[in-house]
Structure 1
């Protein structure tokens, strides 16, 4: 089975390959093709993968190419993890937003809109190429903003594109662990959009154990989200929010922390990863060792500003292992082998959430089999959550409309309608600022 990884020179690709190395069952991935526009980055990642595979007799064969059609031809699965504009683009997203006093995080608020505006046209072009060159392939999208990009691609690929994210998986794992349960045996009632969802229940043997957690302040305050949001707020909500909702519930504090930071997250990663790729230009560099060292630092500093604002302290060691690669592997296994499973995924709504139309991509538990991912029926969201979901989905739709029409006015509307942008004039200045630093937004007229 052939897996094509778009963004194959990306830093997190070895996580995916590492998961593949542990799969020895029949019907597994035997060939991995890395595609990237940057040949030097491809070379660096290929070296890391070669060291990972050392001593593994049935390791999937790895090749690399800068030709998209060559990479896609014959693919059974396509994993999309591109970053349009690179980490320099992410750093600019943050900088322009903060200059206007609003959040520039890459998937939330102004930064997420800017990232979406330059990513959607590229993602749609990829989707059209997949439909033409590899029509039977399943596309697994991790490109951010994941829900928005998955919806854009679904307009060309239908249900054959499925978005994944490790945030709900990590959240469910932490809650189960605190409750003394096996995460693999728990049913997680999670509903929302990507980076905008809530755990409303966690059932073990048919019994919802979340009320027990919410009723115990000591237990509730013992893990990441309890520290991040505070036990009183979680008890008021009656649910456990995705960590990215910290940017909505504590927006002023988040903007202040980002503004006061020595470097924004994007600038930190840009400089950190530049060091890794520069090191890989040395023929004698120990590729896997350098990558492991860089990854550990990356994971340990994840959402550092938010945790500092909340006084949450350092991340727990158990939360430093990522997880999206495990979701990707489980998804591929379920489809390729008809190994039916349940995963939290980004898929078209159909009739799952009544407040959204059938084509809206949402993030919910799905039953997965050889025919793809099927969203599970869920209870309605409370009004406060429905309002936020509908508001952000409306913004995503304006981003899609701006990408399709090239309308600057529609792009301004997308920024102005976002809950974390507090003025139409700010929205106009944001569009001016982003078009000045991003060549990929030159299409907005």
Structure 2
């Protein structure tokens, strides 16, 4: 590895990028970044320039020698990269709005990474990520791909299954958000906490919680039985689970479990937002506009606190913690998306899972958990089946496989409704789904 580190961020014009830059500045001594390349597409050019200028001001203010490069050509950026991070949104926020609004118009939950919306985000995203993987294999084969792009579990599954690139780690800020939330509940510093995580992305459970190495799970479960403590991530408003249910489940849920354990209430809430024109995509669009106005300010040289409202809290902590642990061979334990290799007995060896791992210079080594608790294993297996079939549909462009994925998702009530949603969403996202339409045009 050459002197200093080269990081390439694809989707560099994202509003989240200042989070990453802040993390790189804070951890510069252990992670000496030499070059940061921010890559985006033509439609993201203006945002890339705004974010790039802010990144340069932040680095200048910190007095560090990190060169920031902006480009619309990822092949120019990749050669010699040590780490490639992906944080892209195929179709931008307009596509997210369709992912939310079309299912809701059929009375089905519309959400970015769950149900039909999660399926279509995967269908649009997986081919793009696989193209990036091909470029990495050609131009920087030793680079680690750190994927933040949702649906992170499905994307990791697709890369493991449809490419031979094994240097991929999927990362999400939900587990670190859960850790921070538990630390806050216990009124202690985050550094004293360890959670044994096992499951899938946005379907992860805390099997045990330790403070200074001693299990405090029972105490945490009791604290979480108070509904006001049941949601750790800002972009899902807390609807408290029933106290008796939390105690009986006896594991710590993540906020996304509300879509499965409180489906009726979440759907009712989303339908109310839909009627008012305030689904999450519309809220985020407004937040993004406000953030980019702030980012334009030539006097601004820090990450503005408003960014945390975007749902990206602890993103830089998770990102930099992981990259530093690989680079420095720290061998600490972190929750990431990686190949199962027997970590969860109920899931195939070659599938992607989100589990606590020992992070080494050779990547994550999953901590063996054995079987998941009986009460949660069925849901996890069902979502894994959905991810597997959805990844296959994304790669093949098969309508039938896409309908299968849609229908086996637990948030879709029937194949007939699933088919109606599938047909409407395929048409709505046609520009970003060439594999599904290539045969029709041939």
- Structure 2: how far apart are the matches of 1:179 and 1:384? 26
Contact 2:224 2:230 in 1 (8 A): no
Match of 2:235 in 1: none
Deviations 1:212-251 (A, max 9, x none): 2334678785463686324332112112101100111111
Asked if the contact 1:347/1:362 (under 8 Å) is kept, the reply is yes
1:9 aligns with 2:24: no
Match of 2:205 among 179, 182, 198: 198
Q: Is the 8 A contact 2:195 2:206 kept in 1?
A: yes
**1:172: which partner in 2?**
179
**In the aligned structure 1, how far is the partner of 2:374 from the partner of 2:60?**
53
Residues 102 and 59 (structure 1 numbering): CA distance in 2 closer, same or farther, change over 3 Å? Answer: farther
Q: Tell me, which stretches of 5 or more residues in structure 2 are unaligned?
A: 233-237, 438-442
1:98 to 98, 104, 112: 104
1:402 aligns with 2:417: no
What is the alpha-carbon distance in structure 2 between the residues aligned to residue 400 and residue 72 of structure 1?
25
Q: Which residue of 2 aligns with 1:443?
A: 435
Contact 1:214–1:220, Cα closer than 8 Å, also in 2: no
Which residue in the other structure is 1:423 paired with?
414
Alignment of 1:385-396 (within 5 A): 385-396=376-387
Structure 1 residue 25, shift from structure 2 partner: 1.7
- 1:187–1:202 CA contact under 8 A, matched in 2: yes
Residue 60 of structure 2 corresponds to which residue in structure 1?
A: 54
Paired with 2:185 and 2:370, the residues of 1 have a C-alpha distance of 25
Query: Does the C-alpha gap of structure 1 residues 27 and 293 become closer, same or farther in structure 2, counting only changes over 3 Å?
Result: closer
What is the CA–CA distance in structure 1 between the aligned matches of 2:90 and 2:264, rounded to whole Å?
A: 28
**TM-score normalised to structure 2 length:** 0.89
- Correspondent of 1:184 among 181, 185, 191: 191
Say if 1:159 and 1:372, in contact at 8 Å, map to a contact too. no
Once the 2 structures are TM-superposed, how far is the Cα of residue 276 of structure 1 from its aligned partner? 4.4
CA distance in 2, matches of 1:49, 1:5: 12
Distance between the aligned counterparts of 2:26 and 2:337, measured in 1? Answer: 25
Pick aligned residue for 2:371 from 370, 380, 387: 380
Task: State the SS of the aligned residue for 1:420.
Answer: coil
Quick check: 1:242 aligned with 2:245? no
**Can you list the C-alpha shifts for 1:250-273, whole angstroms capped at 9, x where unaligned?**
111111111111310012212332
- Equivalent-residue separation in structure 2 for 1:182 and 1:109 (angstroms): 36
Residue 264 in 1 paired to residue 273 in 2?
A: no
Residue 365 (structure 1) aligned to one of 323, 340, 356: 356
Note if contact 1:178-1:223 (Cα within 8 Å) is conserved in structure 2: no
Shift of 1:328: 1.3
Secondary structure of 1:197's counterpart equals strand
User: Within 1, Cα distance between the matches of 2:313 and 2:31?
Assistant: 25
Aligned-partner Cα distance in 2 for 1:218–1:145: 29
Paired residues for 1:153-172 under 5 Å: 153-154=159-160, 155-172=162-179
Count of residue correspondences: 421
CA distance, structure 2, for counterparts of residue 179 and residue 361 of structure 1: 31
CA–CA separation in structure 2 for the residues paired with 1:277 and 1:187: 36
Q: Secondary structure in 1 aligned to 2:177?
A: helix
Corresponding residue for residue 318 of structure 1: none
Q: Which residue among 184, 189, 209 is the counterpart of 2:216?
A: 209
Matches within 5 A, 1:11-26: 11-25=15-29
1: CA distance, partners of 2:220 / 2:226: 6
